[in-house]
Amino acid sequence: MSGIWKGERKYYQAWWSNAEGEREQGSTGKTTKKAADQWLRNKELAVSVRRLSTFTVADALELAGRKQVRRCNAPRTLTAAASRAGHVARLWGEDLDLHGPGDRESVNALLVELGGEYMDQRRRELTPQGRVVSESQIRKELQLLAQGLRVAVKAGKFVGEAACVFPEELGTDRIRTRCPSTDELRRLRGRATAHRWQWIVLYASTGADISELHRVRRKEDIDFDRGLFGAIRLRGTKTKHRDRWVPLTAETRAIVDALLQVPDDDRHASRIGYLMPALWDSSSFAKTVRPWCDALGIEHIIVKDLRRCYVSTLRENGVAEADCVALMGHVNSAMIRRIYHQGSNSAFDQVARTLPNLSANMRHDNVVPIGKASELGGLGSDATGEKA
């Protein structure tokens, strides 16, 4: 609230509420009512900018939760996000006002301080299994909060920078960019069992995430008339481009043919009708491959490393960036540029020569023709069904 008046003095007087809600008054320095009104409006505007509306941790987590639902994540993913949100709310407090400091610089400083404290507290805690909380888990929890803050910034509800919640130890420079070398792949092939090597080849030759490969059905999602050796349809969980057809290589075609011959009696009851006879989640993958890597003296390999193998091989064999985006199921090329594609010096420029079957169908003239920008969102169209 505010108001102006003119008594016996030369200039109009005014009163207004400051950023703390306290009443103030003084001279406007204006002799006309119109100029005094304008002066008071400017004063109120300046005060309203300094007086930030309350924005709590609970508000940020609510926005992040809505974002997770809009991304059509699987129930398992939503459950994990809810668990992470619970840790943030427990340690920071749901009612903590992130706008409490009052200005942008102070808000960012508060986020930096809280991010560091959060990491220290989580490092001192144990998981329900009695293990120390990993830094990757801490990162995911802070990423969820940062996601809500980014949504709030776009909506004009928050003035800080979401990236400030990440301590220096968890900065973007620590994002995993592991790409096994050609020699490591060759040595790993000699160590892995035949069954597990099939999984590894499928991940490295299709760019599938671990849950996407589980969803491939034997009838609906395999088409041997697409591309040179056929194609499989991957069904993701996160983006609108997640459903896509991916061409098979010579080696993956042989593996798919072998898996199709596995009778239902040899499959788990829940896997009847699917390509893969059994499940192999990311945790089991890491636990299985880790001893092989230790025995070979190489750095540990996870499923995402094989996904990077796929896109790096595509780029090194001349596949256009737009086609890589579509084959990976991404909305844009930001992720490919930041993480997956490591540039022309990538070790995978030798894969085609050392393991020719691994990239036999990855050359630009052999992949499913999806180069036109208008077709990137419709990989199941008749045009993409033509042989390369």
Domain ranges (residues) in the chain: 2-50, 57-174, 182-385
Please tell me the predicted confidence (pLDDT) of residue 143. Answer: 87
**Residue 275 has which token pair?**
């390509």
Q: What is the dihedral of CA 191, 195, 200, 205, to 10 degrees?
A: 130
Where the chain has pLDDT below 70, the residues are: 1, 19-21, 45-52, 71-73, 168-175, 237-241, 338-388
Q: Locate 127 and state its tokens.
A: 């998981």
Q: Helix, strand, coil shares of the chain as percentages rounded to 5? A: 55, 10, 40
Length of the chain: 388
Q: Is 325 in contact with 376 (CB distance < 8 Å)?
A: yes
Separation between Cα atoms, residue 91 and residue 126, nearest integer Å:
14
**Angle subtended by helix axes 75-92 and 57-70, to nearest 10:** 170
Bridge partner list, 126: 132
User: What single string gives the DSSP state of each residue in 241-279?
Assistant: T--EEEE--HHHHHHHHHHHTS-GGGS-GGGTTBSSSS-
Q: Which two tokens stand for residue 315?
A: 């780029």
Amino acid at 78: L
Half-sphere exposure of 57 (CA within 13 A, CB side): 21
| pLDDT (tens digit per residue) in 288-307 | 898 999 999 988 888 888 88
* pLDDT tens by residue, 210-250: 788 888 998 889 998 887 888 898 887 665 557 888 888 88
Rounded-to-integer distance, Cα 69 and Cα 78, Å: 7
DSSP-derived pairing of the beta strands 2-5 and 231-234: unpaired
| 78: Cβ contacts below 8 Å, ≥ 6 apart | 68, 69
The SS3 call for residue 223 is strand
Pair 65, 85: CB distance under 8 Å: yes
CATH number of 182-385: 1.10.443.10
Beta strands across the sheet bearing 231-234 = 222-223, 231-234, 244-247
pLDDT at 384: 31
For residue 337, what is the DSSP state? Answer: I
pLDDT for the residue numbered 126: 83
**Do residues 233 and 213 lie in contact, with contact meaning Cβ atoms separated by under 8 Å?**
no
